[in-house]
């Protein structure tokens, strides 16, 4: 019986209540019964059982305490592991998920891109970059809270219209990325991208009023080994750049033509790094004409690059390369110094117009250099007019305003170039310290055949007059355009009709000869002067 009890207690040793119940249920009646038999052997057995079960009681209590501590430690470890897992999940989400849109972030995206490159998919894959057109003005007009709502809604639309096989991520700001496996031609991603563009064109009603933006998308394809993540991403980014410049709000596939352009751009960037900028860069000037008096009002300074390696390069190309590489920070002071040197030899009533890039406006160091050059040039700052584009201003509107105010306080004038081709002109123009608005040549090209262009020009002229700022029109090439623009109230003009860009010597010659008075019925005199200037 004792052996059975001991075996039973051992089986129940982890269940203290049951083990104790067995001990006391058996021990008490067993001991009492054997003691009262009066038989010495039975009494000795009873005492022995009491001693054994007492030892068993001690073992039960000790073992249970150890077991309980073990369970507590195990429970603590489980709780700690759960806490660590929750923290790990939170860190993973923080590191890989965008908090605003709940989409995978830039880090997650490039991790996926590296995984696809490592996998060496036989069918290849495609990559797309989405950039929201017109989003920056939403931030400036309605505030960042409203901008965040638009971003979140845009992300939702992109995610909702994207097929399951398209991986969507947010790269940052108003840029998103797309990955599509088994897409060697890019057609699957292109079809999805077109749906995304269509979805983004719909009005956003997350604000008190509807907001209209769009999305441009660049797509590139990876078809085999040898390419890096940077390689395929750069090509998609270039396709996006092309879309924003030429097909805003649409999808552009990276092509062999783009490959050639990108290769040339890299060559140009390398040539810029190796160039002696002071020796190879020079400035030409195009006249700004007062058509009412038939006189030259001033000149616009235009950059030119004669590379020892590549020869003469178009300004639109090397300026973009200089901005991509950051060399523009060195280039602007060099060109301004040359222009100021030529201005000292021009008639004192002539003005000089000089273009500033977005990098100039956003760089305090460059602005300090510009102000120092103007002060050291020995010319009246009032003879200077700095031109900035709407696109450059909208990169960082507040920083641009501060930079323009510094130039205005210096005594220089400010002109808004390419007016009407940027973002939300009427919203921001009244907040800028402007002296002049330059109407973009795009409004002039078809003004002779398109009444809408004429109405737009007339509206801009009226707006300029109401704001108390001057107005200059660019891209004038025919006598008929001059007559129409004069009829809209424009006096100051610029374009090939009055003269092509020339050297400082050409400009001095033109200043000496002057322009004949403008005749509304005939621009022959002006055109003759333009021909002399071009020669």
DSSP 179: E
List 387's β-bridge partners, or say none: 355, 415
Measured distance CA(524)–CA(209) in Å, rounded: 52
pLDDT higher for 341 or 31? 341
Chain segment 118-151, per-residue pLDDT in tens: 876 657 889 999 999 888 777 766 777 888 888 9
Chain segment 343-398, per-residue pLDDT in tens: 988 888 889 999 998 888 888 899 999 999 999 988 999 999 999 887 777 667 77
Which residues are identified as catalytic? 174
Indicate the pLDDT class of residue 283, thresholds 50, 70 and 90.
Answer: very high
Indicate the pLDDT class of residue 510, thresholds 50, 70 and 90.
Answer: confident
- CATH H-level, domain 106-254: superfamily: Reverse transcriptase/Diguanylate cyclase domain (3.30.70.270)
Indicate the pLDDT class of residue 253, thresholds 50, 70 and 90.
Answer: very high
Task: Identify the weakest region by mean pLDDT among 18-27, 156-165, 335-344.
Answer: 18-27
Q: Among residues of the chain, what percentage have pLDDT more than 70?
A: 90
Ramachandran category for residue 134: left, alpha or beta (phi over 0 → left; psi -120 to 50 → alpha): left
Measured distance CA(29)–CA(38) in Å, rounded: 15
Chain segment 75-113, per-residue pLDDT in tens: 888 888 888 887 776 666 667 888 888 899 888 898 888
Long-range contacts of 323-330 (CB under 8 A, 24+ apart): 323/357, 323/358, 323/359, 324/265, 324/269, 325/269, 325/272, 325/273, 326/359, 327/272, 327/273, 327/277, 328/357, 328/359, 328/360, 329/359, 329/360, 329/363, 329/365, 329/366, 330/277
Q: Which fold has domain 265-534?
A: TIM Barrel (3.20.20)
Structure-token pair, residue 92: 């993973």
- Residue tagged 């707006």 (tokens): 463
Q: With 70 as the cut, is the pLDDT of residue 526 above it?
A: no
Q: With 60 as the cut, is the pLDDT of residue 481 above it?
A: yes
Indicate the pLDDT class of residue 420, thresholds 50, 70 and 90.
Answer: low
């Amino acid at each position: 019986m004792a052996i059975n009890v001991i075996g039973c207690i051992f089986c129940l040793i982890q269940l203290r209540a049951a083990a104790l119940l067995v001990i006391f249920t058996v021990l008490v009646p067993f001991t009492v019964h054997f003691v009262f038999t009066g038989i010495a052997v039975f009494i000795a057995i009873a005492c022995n059982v009491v001693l054994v079960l007492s030892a068993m009681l001690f073992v039960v209590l000790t073992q249970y305490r150890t077991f309980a501590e073990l369970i507590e430690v195990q429970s603590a470890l489980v709780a700690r592991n759960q806490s660590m897992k929750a923290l790990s999940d939170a860190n993973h989400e923080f590191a890989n998920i965008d908090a605003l849109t709940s989409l995978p972030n830039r880090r997650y995206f490039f991790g996926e891109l590296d995984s696809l490159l490592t996998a060496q998919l036989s069918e290849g894959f495609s990559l797309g970059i989405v950039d929201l057109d017109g989003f920056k003005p939403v931030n400036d007009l309605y505030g960042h809270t409203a901008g965040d709502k638009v971003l979140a809604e845009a992300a939702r639309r992109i995610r909702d219209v994207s097929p399951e096989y398209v991986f969507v991520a947010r790269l940052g700001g108003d840029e998103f990325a797309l990955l599509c496996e088994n897409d060697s031609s890019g057609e699957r991603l292109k079809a999805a991208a077109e749906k995304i563009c269509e979805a983004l064109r719909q009005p956003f009603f997350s604000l008190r009023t509807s907001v209209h933006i769009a999305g441009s998308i660049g797509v590139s394809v990876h078809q085999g080994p040898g390419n890096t993540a940077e390689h395929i991403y750069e090509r998609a980014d270039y396709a996006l750049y092309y879309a924003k410049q030429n097909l805003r709000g649409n999808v552009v596939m990276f092509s062999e033509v783009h490959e050639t352009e990108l290769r040339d751009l890299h060559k140009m960037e390398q040539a810029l790094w190796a160039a002696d900028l002071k020796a190879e860069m020079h400035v030409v000037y195009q006249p700004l004409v007062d058509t009412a008096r038939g006189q030259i009002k001033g000149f616009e300074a235009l950059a030119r690059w004669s590379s020892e390696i590549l020869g003469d390069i178009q300004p639109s190309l090397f300026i973009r390369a200089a901005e991509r590489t950051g060399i523009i920070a060195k280039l602007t002071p060099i060109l301004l110094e040359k222009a100021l040197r030529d201005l000292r030899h021009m008639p004192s009533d002539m003005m000089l117009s000089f273009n500033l890039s977005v990098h100039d406006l956003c760089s305090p160091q460059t602005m300090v250099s510009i102000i120092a050059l103007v002060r050291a040039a020995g010319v009246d700052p009032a003879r200077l007019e700095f031109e900035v584009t709407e696109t450059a201003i909208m990169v960082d509107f507040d920083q641009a305003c501060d930079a323009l105010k510094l130039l205005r306080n210096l005594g220089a004038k400010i002109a808004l170039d390419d007016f009407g081709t940027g973002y939300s002109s009427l919203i921001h123009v009244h907040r800028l310290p402007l002296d002049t608005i330059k109407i973009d040549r795009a409004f002039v090209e078809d003004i002779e055949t398109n009444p809408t262009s004429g109405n737009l020009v007339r509206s801009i002229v009226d707006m300029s007059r109401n704001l108390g700022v001057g107005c200059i029109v660019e891209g004038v090439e025919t006598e008929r355009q001059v007559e129409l623009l004069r009829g809209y109230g424009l006096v100051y003009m610029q374009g090939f009709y009055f003269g092509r860009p020339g050297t400082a010597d050409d400009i001095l010659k033109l200043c000496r000869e002057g322009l004949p008075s403008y005749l509304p019925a005939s621009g022959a005199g002006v055109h003759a002067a333009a021909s002399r200037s071009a020669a």
